[in-house]
Structure 1
Amino acid sequence: MSAGGVFIPPMLIFPRKNSSEILKKGAPPETLFAFHPSGWIQTHLFTEWFRHFVKKVQPTKENHVLLTLDGHNTHTRNLDVIVEARNNFVSILYLPPHTSHKVQPLDKTVMGALKTYYSEEIRCFMRLHQRAVTHFDISELFGKAYLKVQSGERAVKGFRMTGIYPCRRDVFTEEDFIAASQVLNTVEHQAKKNAVNEEISAQW
């Protein structure tokens, strides 16, 4: 989604090898479908999504686009996307590790609500049909939930709450970084401890 309130049609990845038109029934308009045995995003699938993104956003030399992403390796280690971004006037900004709960707009205003609505759609479906949900029901149930949270207000609020747009340096206070500091100290302590143990082992 954008800071102006516009949503890009989503990508749905099914844990299977082959496509089926029945799987697509009821999905949000212009949804991109992908298939992989794991059901998880892969480097080549993210490349497909990026081309989908460029097609919908249509950046130009006069109107560049800034795309913020988390640090997943399908994003950061994807040479095809980096090249295509340069060729299509897209600048990519990777969010710092372990900060998405604070600085990713989707996490702040959309994902929680989407999970809630999706769970409710599943609950109502199972109560009405008296059977478990299958892969062939997912697009329609997800589509109903997605359309309830796909609003310009949520998008704008997400970017505002994270301080990305409008840009705000004071959106976080020192206490927001306490947990991160404690984790860092723990990691540093463990690293020193490991170094000492290695030194002792070497002496023996």
Structure 2
Amino acid sequence: MDIIGHLPNKLYNCDETGLTIVQHKTSKVLALKGKRQVGALSSAERDSLVTVVTCMSAAEDYIPPLFVFPRVNMKAELLDGTPNGSIAIYHKSGWIQMDASCSSLENKFLPNVKPSKDDPVVLVLDGHYSHTRNLELLALVARENGVHIISFPPHCTHKMQPLDKAFMSPLKTYYAQAIENCLGQNSGRVVTHYQVGRLFGEAYNQAATVATATNGFRITGLFPCNCNVFQPHEFVSDANGSDFVQQDQNISITQIEDRESQPSCSVIQNNLEERPKNKWKRS
């Protein structure tokens, strides 16, 4: 916060998510009673994922998204209906790669934010290998342009990342509704990659609001900076060494500490083995 002077327009969060073309809820099909085989309308391509990279700031600024389509050849029609300024890259897997992260930062983030060493910004990312192990992204692109990259601790993005807390859930909900409406208006047709851009654009315009960005940074404690946004029991680890304790919200810290102070089964077993055997035998 000292680096950016506590300015909300200098704090950004970037994350990627997957878009599927398989609808979650199939439409109803009318058939004769007693018919053994009833057809259903399904997607033309299964297990096909389109990755989209989104970014927003604490000052309600949204960076145009970047799409990663699971293709080899480029098609301009894939960007029809997408938010203004969107770009697309292509990879056979459709997953985010190291070169895709660099392309997103160079082609979308830097031209829109325009940071410099004299006017730096902070970009908060998750711990994906394409971010933390990408030397080109960290050294050549970010450091030379005044972008300070900070990654979340492991297994904490569901509570600390603004995009996960406030943006992704309504985005996925609106996107699923757009798919259902598309299938309802075009009976007999299926959803392909050529409709993803338009359907996502409709969902993005509904989810990318000023209140979404503000609430996302506020409830995660990033801006305004709030170190006490999480309760103490959310940092307690259980006796098995897992990262989080799935406890009831009504349980107290004293109860957790008392439970952890009890000896484990292995300790009890060792104490039993150390006891002297009973010399009396049953007659």
Please list, as runs of the form range in 1=range in 2, the aligned pairs for 1:1-204 lying within 5 A after superposition: 1-51=56-106, 52-83=108-139, 84-130=141-187, 131-178=189-236, 181-182=237-238, 185-186=241-242
Corresponding residue SS for 1:9: strand
Alpha-carbon contact 2:117-2:144 (below 8 Å) kept: no
Q: CA deviation at 1:74?
A: 0.2
Check 1:186–1:171 CA distance in 2 against 1; reply closer, same or farther (3 A cut): closer
Q: Compare the two structures and name the one with the higher strand fraction.
A: 2
Check 1:93–1:21 CA distance in 2 against 1; reply closer, same or farther (3 A cut): same
Equivalenced residue count is: 186
Check 1:28–1:82 CA distance in 2 against 1; reply closer, same or farther (3 A cut): same
What TM-score results when the alignment is normalised by the length of structure 2? 0.63
Mark the runs of 5 or more structure 1 residues left unpaired by the alignment: 188-204
Corresponding residue SS for 2:68: strand
Q: Partner amino acid for 1:76?
A: T
Q: In structure 2, how many angstroms separate the alpha carbons of the residues matched to 1:98 and 1:186?
A: 11
Q: CA deviation at 1:182?
A: 2.9
What TM-score results when the alignment is normalised by the length of structure 1? 0.87
Which aligned segments of 4 or more residues in structure 1 are displaced greater than 4 angstroms?
Answer: none
Q: In structure 2, how many angstroms separate the alpha carbons of the residues matched to 1:142 and 1:160?
A: 26
Q: Partner amino acid for 2:89?
A: A
Q: Any idea what the Cα deviations from partners look like across 1:153-185, whole Å, max 9, x if unmatched?
A: 21111011100111101100022234xx13861
Q: CA deviation at 1:34?
A: 1.2
Corresponding residue SS for 2:196: helix
Q: In structure 1, how many angstroms separate the alpha carbons of the residues matched to 2:146 and 2:66?
A: 22
Q: CA deviation at 1:62?
A: 2.9
Higher relative contact order (CA 8 A, sep 6+): 1
Check 1:183–1:116 CA distance in 2 against 1; reply closer, same or farther (3 A cut): farther
Corresponding residue SS for 1:117: helix
Q: CA deviation at 1:186?
A: 4.5
Mark the runs of 5 or more structure 2 residues left unpaired by the alignment: 1-55, 244-283
Q: In structure 2, how many angstroms separate the alpha carbons of the residues matched to 1:63 and 1:91?
A: 11
Q: Any idea what the Cα deviations from partners look like across 1:86-145, whole Å, max 9, x if unmatched?
A: 100010111101000000000011000000000000000001112210000000000000
Q: In structure 2, how many angstroms separate the alpha carbons of the residues matched to 1:186 and 1:39?
A: 32
